[in-house]
Amino acid sequence: MERHHPAFFEHARTVLEPVLDRLGFSLAEEHYHQGSFGSAFAVYTRRGGELRLIWDGRDEILFADYDSRSLIDKRIDWLGPSIKTPEDLPALSDELVTKFGGRNAKIPNPKE
């Protein structure tokens, strides 16, 4: 089955997955919902929790959230910034690095 994820969602995943990998996250599942304005999400897991990268197709916003998988507390532990353009991806990357550690995980800046 061929996938038709939204272009910005795919671009964001291409940029952020190396960062997530260095932070110890692995892709566990992905979902695309054509009938829901093309919304999509990908779930990345590591010991102790899961991070979701979510594309809201109706509002054309990308965001991430993290759940520690606590059996006691079922709330979302962290919600990253909402972004609408590729220029905003470094802000999300920085937020991920700050929250989940790993100085070497930052997106390289080609201008430096």
pLDDT in tens, 57-86: 889 899 898 888 665 555 557 778 888 888
21 within domain boundaries: yes
CB-CB contact of 105 with 94 (8 Å)? no
Beta bridge partners of 42: 30, 53
24 within domain boundaries: yes
1 within domain boundaries: no
Which band of pLDDT confidence, cut at 50, 70 and 90, is reported for residue 112? very low
Helix axes 89-100, 7-22, angle to 10 degrees: 30
109 within domain boundaries: no
- Looking at this protein, which amino acid is placed at residue 29? E
Closest CA to 76 of 89, 65, 84, 60: 65
Which band of pLDDT confidence, cut at 50, 70 and 90, is reported for residue 110? very low
- Angstrom CA distances, 65 to 1, 57, 59, 62, 103, stand at 28, 17, 17, 10, 20
Total domain count for the chain?
1
Over residues 20-46, the mean pLDDT reads 89
46 within domain boundaries: yes
pLDDT of residue 19: 92
Element (H, E) at 49: strand 49-56
Does this model's pTM top 0.85? My answer is no
Q: Give the number of C-alpha atoms closer than 13 A to the C-alpha of residue 82, restricted to the C-beta side.
A: 6
68 within domain boundaries: yes
Structural domain span for residue 40? 7-101
76 within domain boundaries: yes
108 within domain boundaries: no
> In this model, does residue 2 exceed pLDDT 70?
no
